[in-house]
Structure 1
Amino acid sequence: MPCGRLPVQAQIRLYSSDDQRETSRPTELGATGIECYVLTGQDPSKSEQKSMLPSDPIQVKVKAVLKKRDYGTKYMKNNFITGVRAMNEFCLKPSDLEPLRKIRRRSPHDDTESFTVFLRSDVEAKALEVWGSPEAIFRERKLRKEEEIAYKENLFRNQKLLKEYKEFLGNTKPRLSTSSVFLKGPGKVVMVAICINGLNFFFKLLAWVYTGSASMFSEAIHSLADTCNQALLALGIAQSVRTPDPGHPYGFTNMRYIASLISGVGIFMMGAGLSWYHGIIGLLHPQPIDSLLWAYCILAGSLVSEGATLLVAVNEIRRSARAKGLSFYKYVVQSRDPSTNVVLMEDAAAVLGVVMAASCMGLTSLTGNPLYDSLGSLGVGTLLGAVSAFLIYTNTEALIGRSIQPEQVQRLTEFLESDPAVRAIHDVKATDMGMSKVRFKAEVDFDGRVVTRLYLEKQDIDQVLQEIRQVKTPEDLEAFMLKHGENIIDTLGAEVDRLEKELKVRA
């Protein structure tokens, strides 16, 4: 029986005239199956009886089955690859890619032009032609990787050379430098505090040497601790503006919190510890105090200078809190700006410590009892201990990773949920990374129908209908689905980018 030229799987069943035996001979001819039933006889002499039998119609059953793809190495060679990736993975030059077949692909972004890609199989063949063998490509790739690592290790030197090169060419574009950080904002507050506390330490130390007062010694130690801690804060600010590198992709912003945390520990160990020690020694072995006139004058000057630094820190925090829409108290408690917070707390403790030391020294001069002066030293130590505990707690909370304000999380969540392309969102997490940086994470369930409509709005519907009419075989259907399926995924990627941009504006 002629079955045409279609690739078929024929199964012919032979029936004898006496209906007693049946044989079957299947033959594999392709992926599509057709069963043909033909009545035959075994005895030629019984042809007359055969002709008397009713002629049954031939039954044909056709079932189209698309072959299952093997997504192995051979299939991946037919994937597309960009020029930059081809040069990086196969160690090729732009001139090597010129003779290869070029395919223009539509970009998923509306504001970006289409880009050129190559077939991975063509790129691999060209790489073998250039390098000779896969081993040679592997050695070259390894060599380039080692050179890249060496370059990253010398990143600081390379950046410095690049900066000098730009300055030589007269590049006047504004660039963020370490020195500019200390001319405004928290850096300016820290530098002012370092200068004033350094001078206060020098004069308080002279007053303690002249009078031998335990309270004055505590105040000198207090100013020394403030100066050292604020120098540490300046180092943290300088480190926090470093450019992110492959080893630290999110940058060095947390260096401010780390420096503030170490500063709090330093205040506790150096300031509070020495003040308590000296106060206890004064209680156990009281010593007479000499003239306190110069000590009062130095304390008065210290009160004015510490008050001026405190005023600078208060004004900076008020300005930053107003920009964030927060109250002064919330801004300080949440440690939004750790460097300015440390200066604020240290200067507030310094002003209170000066008042406390002056009061205790006044009681000692009036009564002649040196125990009041020792109690003043213990009071200053306790004050420093409270400040250090507050700084350690707030900076530890910031380093662990706290959530942003619930109102802000709710606002971002409502924006995502109200977007037409989003069906639902799950597991929303928003972490305050400090210095006005927020990391927002959410699992988004996109509405595939909306994304598909967005794709169809940009297509010529008549052309799409014409492509559908041309689909005749499973291979045509596969090509049609692959083309438009990939473009729909690109549209989904563009929607993700759009949502990310909107979230950055609202965060």
Structure 2
Amino acid sequence: MIPRSCILLGNIYCNSYCTGQLILKRHLNFTHCKSSNLRKFQSELKSLVQTLCTVRTLASDKQNKESPTPEKAKEVNLDNIKEKSLEKPNLKPTESLQKLKDKILSKKDETKSETVKPPPKKRARVDLSAASVERNFITPVKAMSDFLLKPSDLESLPKTKRRSPYENEPPITVYWRKDVEAKALELWGSKENLAKEVLKRDIERKKYQQDIFTVKRRLRDFRRELGKPTNVEEADEGLMGRSGKVVITAIAINATNCLFKLFAWLYTGSHSMFSECIHSLADTINQIILAYGIHKSVQIADSYHPYGYANMKYVASLISGVGIFCVGTGLSFYHGISGLIASQPIEDFFWAYFILAGSLVSEGATCLVALNSVRKGAHNSNMSIREYITRGQDPSVNVVLLEDFAAVVGVLVAGTCMGISSWTHSPIPDALGSLLVGCILGSVASFIIYTNVAALVGRSIPQENLDKINAELETDVMIRAIHDVKGIDMGNFLVRYKAELDFDGRELTRMYLDKLELTALLEVHVA
């Protein structure tokens, strides 16, 4: 019996647009065939079946396009290929396999030539990495401000309408930026000339704004002077004011003390005297910084600093505190520790005592001047002296007061330690005196830094002052309630107050109608 793998009967049915029906039946007797011929025939037959399927599909697609109701072509299924036995062959004479294959391939090429379309042309890609303003728009206002053009210059330029960036607004008119730039170069000649003119007009505009701002500030101050009298002495400003006089006095006295203490240290070599010399030098430098801060704090506000420069006093005081801590405390500790490690023989302290006594008198006088200024400021602000100092209402005077107080205590400590060293003939008490003076300077510097940092960060005004402002507002007939109240002390007796107010709409309307002549208003309305 012949195996199934060695028997092949091809029976292919194909419904085509051009040829109708094509029946191919081929019967071969593989009994005497070689295996190579068998495999060759199998591959050719398989290729022929696949080609017939392709031709049938293409012809069916073409028929469907031309006919509105085409008949559904029968599908070619390889399963239709049936194997039959070789006992009763029933074959019809047909063309040879090679001729049929060539015929089908020629029809396939004709169908492809009819259906193949030319490939579409590729669009050139836009280079997104290149910077360009060729397609940018510009508004008329920006064109006039940036390129110094007039409305008459823009009339000849092409324009278009664009959607407004603001809600419920009509479309806006815009120009192409390249056209505006070309027009500006035509008027001004070059970009350099345009830049010079823009800079010139910007300087003139800022000067004009500063003049307007100054006039408004003067008018506001004038209206304030005509209003209720205040307890705060607002005219007490600048270096000629109360704080400025205290600082200038302290600069003169501390500079003199620094020179005398320097000569005493060079003569005696005392560690405590060196600490006092450094202390006076640090006080002099810091008070010069305070004088600059006071001078800057009274500068008139401008468009860049609409609230003025009142905080410059706090900045100068903060720098002063850091200087005292770094220079005064650091050098005093260094010299005291070096005196303990490498002791030197004690010299005669006779002249040093006289210089310390004179320094005690001068520092004490400056301390009294500063204390008197603090007392007046606390009285005018309805505060106690302790609260006035801790809240840093006048940081410049506070720094002078604390520095002079530390200087008086330091002079007493230095004189005591020097006396003990003279009596015991030991340099250790003198070195310990330098360390104690450094501790005093460090404590004062830490307090100055803390109070000024708190003022610069933003500190609320006392609650009683906030309640007074709220009570004054609540008495107004137009205000029904006050919410979310904040009051910040800005220094220089200025307060920034913020609150959410609930206005009475009826009272506001009634006040508005009272200012109008209803008879004339009704007559105009009727007319």
TM-score range relative to shorter protein: 0.5 to 0.7
1:195 is matched by which residue type in structure 2? A
Aligned residue number for residue 456 of structure 2: 399
Tell whether 2:244 aligns with 1:187. yes
Query: Equivalents in 2 of 1:350, 1:296: separation in Å?
Result: 15
The partner residue of 2:334 within 274, 277, 284 is 277
Shift of 1:353: 0.1
Corresponding residue for residue 105 of structure 2: none
Q: Are 2:476 and 1:419 equivalent residues in the alignment?
A: yes
Match of 2:200 in 1: 147
Question: 2:443 is matched with which residue?
Answer: 386
Q: How does 1:30-69 map to 2 (within 5 A)?
A: none
Q: Encode CA deviations 1:195-222: one digit per residue, 9 max, x unaligned.
A: 1100101110111111111000000000
Structure 1 residue 462 displacement after superposition: 2.7
2:292 aligns with: 235
What residue number does 1:171 align with? none
Equivalent-residue separation in structure 2 for 1:419 and 1:90 (angstroms) = 50
CA offset at residue 270 of structure 1?
A: 0.3
Give 2:312's aligned residue: 255
Runs of 4+ in structure 1 deviating by more than 6 angstroms, as ranges, are 89-92, 132-136, 139-144, 152-155
Query: What's the secondary structure of 1:425's corresponding residue?
Result: strand
TM-aligned CA deviation for residue 428 of structure 1: 1.1
Specify the SS of the correspondent of 2:290: helix
Q: Deviations over 1:366-391 (max 9, x none)?
A: 11111000100000000000000000
Structure 2, unmatched stretches of 5+, are 1-147, 152-172, 174-179, 189-193, 215-235
Q: Secondary structure at the match of 1:427?
A: strand
Equivalent in the alignment of 2:390: 333
Partner Cα distance (2:406, 2:482) in 1:
47
Query: 1:149–1:453: structure 2 CA closer, same or farther, 3 Å change rule?
Result: same
Contact 2:346 2:426 in 1 (8 A): no
1:159-174 equivalences under 5 Å are none
Asked if the contact 2:332/2:437 (under 8 Å) is kept, the reply is yes
CA separation in 2, counterparts of 1:272 and 1:152? 49
For 1:321 and 1:148, the matched residues in 2 are separated by 48
- Deviation string 1:285-342 (CA, Å, 9 cap, x unpaired) is 1112111110000000000000011011011111111111111111111100011111
- In the aligned structure 2, how far is the partner of 1:241 from the partner of 1:310? 25
TM-score, normalised on structure 2? 0.57
Residue correspondence of structure 1 range 281-430 to structure 2 within 5 A: 281-430=338-487
User: Which residues in structure 2 correspond to 1:220-231 (within 5 Å)?
Assistant: 220-231=277-288
Deviation at 1:423, TM superposition (A): 2.3
Structure 1 counterpart SS, 2:484:
strand
Q: Shift in Å at residue 182 of structure 1?
A: 2.3
Distance 2:429 2:181 in 1: 88
Task: Report deviation, 1:418.
Answer: 2.4
Q: C-alpha distance in 2, partners of 1:437/1:219? A: 38
Q: How far did residue 469 of structure 1 move?
A: 5.0
Give the CA deviation at 1:464. 3.5
- What is the number of residues matched between the two proteins? 324
What is the rounded CA distance, in whole Å, between the counterparts of 2:395 and 2:314 in structure 1?
6
Deviation at 1:421, TM superposition (A): 0.8
How far did residue 446 of structure 1 move?
A: 1.5
SS of alignment partner, residue 416 of structure 1: helix
TM-score by length of 1: 0.59
User: How far, CA to CA, are the matches of 2:437 and 2:347 in structure 1?
Assistant: 21
Uncovered stretches (5+) of structure 1, i.e. residues with no partner: 1-88, 93-123, 125-131, 163-178, 471-507
Pair 1:328–1:447, CA change in 2 (3 A): same
What are the Cα deviations for residues 153-175 of structure 1, in whole angstroms up to 9, with x where unaligned?
A: 889xx99xx9xxxxxxxxxxxxx
Deviation at 1:361, TM superposition (A): 0.5
* Bigger Rg, structure 1 or 2: 2
1:250 Cα deviation from its structure 2 partner: 1.4
Q: Which moved more, 1:146-155 or 1:324-333?
A: 146-155
* 1:146, distance to aligned residue in structure 2 (A): 3.2
Paired AA for residue 286 in structure 1: S
